Structure 1
Amino acid sequence: MDAPTPKVPAAHGRPAVAPSWVWRSLAAAGVVVSALVHLVLWTRGYDDIPLVGPLFLVNAISGVVLAVLLLTWRHWLPLVGGIIFGAATLLAFVASATSDLLGITTQVVGTTELVAAAAELVAVVASTIALVREQAR
């Protein structure tokens, strides 16, 4: 006869899942990776593009600030910020890949584009999960 499978401890009858600080950490990682990609692109010529260059720099700075807030301020506002940051940045990328957004057309196939898109998706999903878990308490 097979040995019984050990059960993972459950909290209040629910299966154990990652604590919200894990989700906050993932959200912060997604935000900061997206911010770093935008900073790298800004230093590689985007700084010369009117309007778009400054927006890339604002994205990079605000992403680093938001990542710090996600890790240090246990309030729902940074989580909403993570959702908005990730979604807005991802939507702007999709818009620039499918049309001429602010005079910029980008491709979806580059390494930096794929890394940024994945990071922004992680930021949205992880921020949402952390927000739902923390509001459920």
Structure 2
Amino acid sequence: MAMEATAGWALRAAAALGLLGSAWIHLVVWQDWARDEPVVGELFLVNAVAGPVLAAAVLAWRGHWLPELGTAGFGAATLLAYAASLTTGFLGVREQFRTPEETWGVVTEAACLLAGVLLLLIRRRARR
């Protein structure tokens, strides 16, 4: 149980860092070019605000599964939108995976997805 608690805290810290990192990247990119894109600009701002809110929730609200699910969902949704922008385009935006922001975005969002899923699995295992 102590190992699960330690792993849980480490994963919560990783989730929070991933959420904050992704929020920061989205704010930087919004300032750079996304603010001029209809719908996509607003979605970048949603990520910039949702990241810190979810980070606070995943650190403070340990008794519930919702912040963990939100963290995994945030990572998955953002990665899927980015994958769409690389392939077919996402709401008129096409990316090419050339910038450091894109690299760090993928890293932080993958961290959110992985940490959120692992936290949910630890919670499920602890309930058994």
Distance in 1, matches of 2:23 and 2:93, equals 19
- In the TM superposition, residue 119 of structure 1 has moved relative to its aligned partner by 0.6
TM-score normalised by structure 2 residue count: 0.90
Structure 1 gap ranges (5+): 1-10
Higher helix share: 2
Distance in 1, matches of 2:89 and 2:104, equals 21
Residue aligning to 1:102: 91
Match of 2:44 among 35, 52, 56: 56
Distance in 1, matches of 2:117 and 2:89, equals 30
Q: CA RMSD of the aligned region, Å?
A: 1.5
1:1-137 map, 5 Å: 16=3, 18-74=6-62, 75-137=64-126
Q: Once the two structures are superposed, what CA deviation does each residue of 1:45-94 show, in whole Å capped at 9, x if it has no partner?
A: 21111111111001110111111101111111000001100000001001
In percent, how many aligned pairs have the same letter? 41
Question: What letter is aligned with 1:57?
Answer: L
Aligned residue pair count: 124
- In the TM superposition, residue 127 of structure 1 has moved relative to its aligned partner by 1.2
| 4+ residue runs over 3 A deviation | none
Structure 2 gap ranges (5+): none
